[in-house]
Amino acid sequence: MDRTQELINWDKQYIWHPFTQMQDWVENDQLVIERGEGNYLFDTEGNKYLDGVSSLWVTVHGHNKKEINQAIKEQLDKIAHSTLLGLANVPSIKLAKKLVEISPPGLNKVFFSDNGSTAVEVALKIAFQYWQSRRSDEVGSRDPDFSPAAKTSGQKFKTKFLTLVNAYHGDTIGSVSVGGIDLFHKMYKPLLFKAFKAPSPYCYRCPEKCEKGSEPCLRHLENIIKKHHQGIAAMIVEPMVQAAAGMLVMPKGYLKAVRRLCTKYNILLICDEVATGFGRTGKMFACEREGISPDIMCVAKGLTGGYLPVAATLTTDEIYNAFIGKHKEKKTFYHGHTYTGNPLGCAAALASLEVFKKDNVLKKMKALTNYLSKGLKQFRNLKRVGDIRQCGMMVGIELVKDKNTKEEFPSSARIGHKIILEARRRGVILRPLGDVIILMPPLSITIKEIKMLLEVTFASIKKVTA
Ligand SMILES: *Cc1c(COP(=O)(O)O)cnc(C)c1O
């Protein structure tokens, strides 16, 4: 038997793939990726594919990037791993300093973990504990959230979270609790803590059927906040783009309004930049597009350039200080993942941030994303394209059965899946979200490669939906 076939057989025998119906998987042909070079992936047969989704939204400067490889090799010759529990290590110190320098103003402390879901878990627990600690310090203070009325009502102060419909913050139980995608999250409801859900800012999907524009959704949001703010510890949002929901782009001004409401009602704002961070929206962080600073920020996916699993949760001094006290006060944040601050991963992240500077990545992106926008216009002529959404290098092309009524295809038709298989035959790797075709190439993609990405996607949609 040839080598590829043997590997595929073993894969089907031993591996349970994520977000995958394994019955489909074992019944179909599969690719085994062996190496990467720049913006391309190569399978075990030597076939070459453009990586149209950055290996699930992580690759930033392309695969096999010389500078990042080099940094990892140099670190490897020193030490691969050492713990942050009771010890410090060189790359994590340098990376934390760097992250504070480049993140929105006010975020001054870095708590490391190892993936997006854990970065969110950390954010939720920090927000919760922050208010617990403030409560014991300050009950009866001038803070309106500690009013005697609330105290005597027996309501627990600020223990709940506010999230948005269509939100995705990861797959662990805490992050699923603040998730808002029924298909992924509903099943686990008995396991989850309660979170308030405000309508998605993307009005086309708004469950309350508001008219277009951001105002109505803000009204609903403010109503929830007005009513419940004494019980809400934090609001969590994906800034600018609800990515996993199909690249739902927030209307201009929405994020800024969220910041204003959170400040007004004394609710912490957690921005989950796991998908949007590190240049994906055209700025280093999506928060910069609205000029806001969250109280807590989560980063992961692109942090290491897409090389290794490192994540971080950044907070303000004010939050950090609420955890400071004598040992016996038990204000410590009792949380930590074994591979926290992994030196190899941090070295990769430092090198990736260096490449941003050296290659002038963010400046060069404008021309690339403009070209992408222009190229996407022609997709409107396709009969089954219901919507096209773009924010920087993040694109969602939504397919519908009927353009006028926005009637969807039955999910059994698996239109999105069929389109990406067609694209694969034409040399492009994509991964859809239901019937939304996602384009999210590495920031290192060239104009020529964007042209190919668009041509292949266009032809694949046309063929499958004909
Ligand atoms: C992918 C993602 C996560 C989860 O990250 P993992 O590393 O897969 O755990 C969390 N939040 C957002 C916005 C994401 O896109």
Ordered by start, the domain boundaries in the chain are 31-61+360-465, 73-357
Least reliable range by pLDDT among 196-210, 351-365, 429-443: 196-210
**Residue 392 and residue 1: Cα distance in Å, rounded?**
45
Residue 382 has pLDDT above 50, yes or no: yes
Give 216 Cα–ligand 1 centroid separation in angstroms.
28
Query: Which of the two residues, 208 and 286, has the higher pLDDT score?
Result: 286
Measured CA to CA in angstroms, residue 128 lies from 60, 69, 122, 230, 440 at distances of 33, 39, 10, 13, 34
What is the position in ligand 1's atom list of the atom closest to the CA of 243? 15
272 lines ligand 1 (CB under 6 A): yes
| Residue 229 to residue 206: CA distance in whole angstroms | 22
Q: How confident is the model at residue 214 (pLDDT cuts 50, 70, 90)?
A: very low
Q: What is the pLDDT of residues 245-271, one digit of tens each?
A: 999 999 999 999 999 999 999 999 999
Ligand 1 pocket, residue 243 CB under 6 Å: yes
Q: Mean pLDDT check: name the lowest of 197-201, 338-342, 396-400.
A: 197-201
Q: Is the pLDDT of residue 138 over 90?
A: no
Taking the CA of residue 301 as reference, the ligand 1 atom at the shortest distance is: 7
CATH for 31-61+360-465 (3.40.50.300, 3.90.1150.10, 3.30.70.100, 3.90.1280.10): 3.90.1150.10
Comparison of pLDDT for 133 and 204, the residue scoring more: 133
pLDDT in tens, 20-69: 999 999 999 999 999 999 999 999 999 999 999 999 999 999 999 999 99
Q: Is 117 touching ligand 1 by the criterion CB < 6 Å? A: yes
CA–centroid distance, 241 to ligand 1, in Å, is: 13
pLDDT at residue 143, rounded to an integer? 54
Q: What is the pLDDT of residue 211?
A: 58
**What tens digit of pLDDT does each residue of 326-338 get?**
999 999 999 999 9
CA of residue 22 relative to chain centroid, distance: 25
Separation in Å, CA 34 to CA 46, 106, 231, 426? 8, 42, 51, 19
Whole-number Å distance, alpha carbon 1 to ligand 1 midpoint, is 38
Least confident of 117-126, 176-185, 443-452: 176-185
Kindly give the distance from the C-alpha atom of residue 307 to the centroid of ligand 1, in angstroms, as a whole number.
Answer: 15
Reported pTM: 0.95
Ligand 1 and 310: CB distance under 6 A: no
The confidence score (pLDDT) of residue 16 equals 98
Q: What are phi and psi of 51, to 5 degrees?
A: -85, 90
Question: CATH for 73-357?
Answer: 3.40.640.10
Name residue 196's beta-bridge partners. Answer: 162
